[in-house]
Amino acid sequence: LCKQHNPEPKLVRRVAVAAYELEMNLVVHSNGGKIYFSLENDTATIEAVDRGPGIADVEQAVEEGYTTATEWVRSLGFGAGMGLPNTKRVADEFTIESSPSGTRVVARIHFPGGEQQ
């Protein structure tokens, strides 16, 4: 990412925030999954796919402060209900597909000068 584009620090932070938040959601809420990162046409894509229980109410899950984290997870300093809202905030495109067999979250961040602005 940085080697190819020499992006502004603010852009690197946005990609890092999205990747971190989606990674933590996999660790805290799922039964395993994968994170994918790709860079095409000046767009960074972070995709998280898990085998968790699914998200019952996607609209509610992207509200700041909403959490289903256990007390134990919160005692570790995680599970404040900011993961999906933070990811949505830093992304130019954000989608969630969820079912009882798992969830797929995609965050795309466009780089200045790319095909999409």
In-domain check, residue 49? yes
Residue 37 corresponds to which tokens in the numbers above? Answer: 């990162």
In-domain check, residue 117? no
pLDDT tens digits, residue range 3-59? 666 778 899 999 999 999 999 999 998 999 999 999 988 899 999 999 989 999 999
pTM greater than the 0.85 cutoff: yes
Q: Which structural domain range is residue 27 located in? A: 2-110
Residue 78's CATH number = 3.30.565.10
Question: Which H/E stretch holds residue 27?
Answer: helix 9-29
In-domain check, residue 115? no
Close Cβ partners of 29 (under 8 Å, ≥ 6 residues apart): 50, 52, 53, 68, 69
Domain count, the chain: 1
In-domain check, residue 20? yes
In-domain check, residue 30? yes
In-domain check, residue 37? yes
pLDDT at 111: 86
pLDDT tens digits, residue range 99-109? 999 999 999 99
pLDDT band, residue 1 (cuts 50/70/90): low
Nearest to 86 by CA among 105, 112, 111, 110: 105
